[in-house]
A = this chain, B = another copy of it.
Amino acid sequence: MAMTTDAERRGWTQNPEAVKEDILTVALSEFAARGFSGARVDTIASRTQTSKRMIYYYFGDKLGLYTRALEAAYLEVREGEASLDLDHLPPQEALARLVAFTFDHHRANPDFIRMVMIENIHNAENLAVSQVIRDLNVAAIDKLADICRRGQEAGVFRAALDPVALHWQISAASFFNVSNRPTFSAIFGSELFEEPAQEVIRQQTVEAILAIACKA
C-alpha cells in the first residue's frame, strides 16, 4: 500500500512455487546438457532468479534436484503425447500416425532424450525408484496396445504381435535419431539430420514398423 516498488524495497516477495519452478527449469537444462556429475550446483544457482540456498532448501541435495528434474522431463513429454487421438482411424493408419508422431515428438524434445541417455548411463538407478515416472510410462503404451488389439481383431495385424516389442521398435528409431545425432553426424556428415533426409527416414521407419506389424 506504500508507493515503494519491489525494486526499491530492501526485502523481497515470497513466491515458493515460482522459485521451485524456476530452479527445476534451469536444473533440467543443466543436467541435460552436462549429465549428473558434469552439472554444477553453483552454475544452476547462478542461472536462477534465486540462490543456491533455495536449491538445498527445496530439493535437499544434488541428487534430489536431479531426480525431480528427471520427473519433470517425463511429465512434459507425456503431456505432449496426450493430445494424440487415434481412435477414429483404422489400425494400420493409426499405427502409421503414431510412429510418425513419436518420431517428430522425440526430435522436438532433445532435453528429454538427453535425460534418458544420462539415466541409462547410470543404469536407470534413479528412474527405478521414481513412482511418478513408473505410473507415467505404464500409461504411455496404452495407445499402442489398443491399436494392436484393434488390428488383430480386424485380422490385419499378426496374431503374435507384442505391444511392448513393437514399442521397442518404434522407440529405437525415434530415440536413436536424436540421441546419436552427434556421433553419427561427426562420422557421416549432418545431411541425414536435415529436413529432406529426415522425412525419408521417418517414412522408412513407418514402413519398417508396418512390415513388422502386418500380416505378410
Whole-angstrom distance between the Cβ of A175 and the nearest chain B Cβ: 6
Name A162's closest neighbour in chain B (CB-CB).
B200
A132 at the interface (CB under 8 A from B): no
So how many copies of this chain end up in the complex?
2
CB distance from A176 to the nearest CB of B (A): 4
Indicate whether A185 reaches chain B with its CB closer than 8 angstroms: yes
Central interface residue in A127, A128, A168, by most chain B CB within 10 Å: A168
Q: CA A151 – CA B197 in complex, angstroms?
A: 22
Q: Which of chain B's residues have a CB closer than 8 A to the CB of A82? A: none
Chain A interface residue number, banded: 35 or more
Also in contact, A121 and B114, with CB within 8 A (given A172-B173, A186-B127): yes
In the complex, the answer to whether A182 meets B35 with C-beta atoms within 8 Å is no
> In the bound complex, do residue B37 and residue A200 qualify as a contact, i.e. CB atoms below 8 Å apart?
no
With a cutoff of 8 Å between Cβ atoms, the chain B residues found around residue A171 in the complex are 176, 180, 184
Contact string against B for A residues 168-202, beta-carbon threshold 8 Å, 1 for contact and 0 otherwise = 11011101110111111111100010000100110
Interface set of A (CB-CB < 8 Å, partner B) = 34-38, 114, 116-124, 127-128, 133-134, 137-138, 141, 162, 164-165, 167-169, 171-173, 175-177, 179-188, 192, 197, 200-201, 204-205, 207-209, 211-212
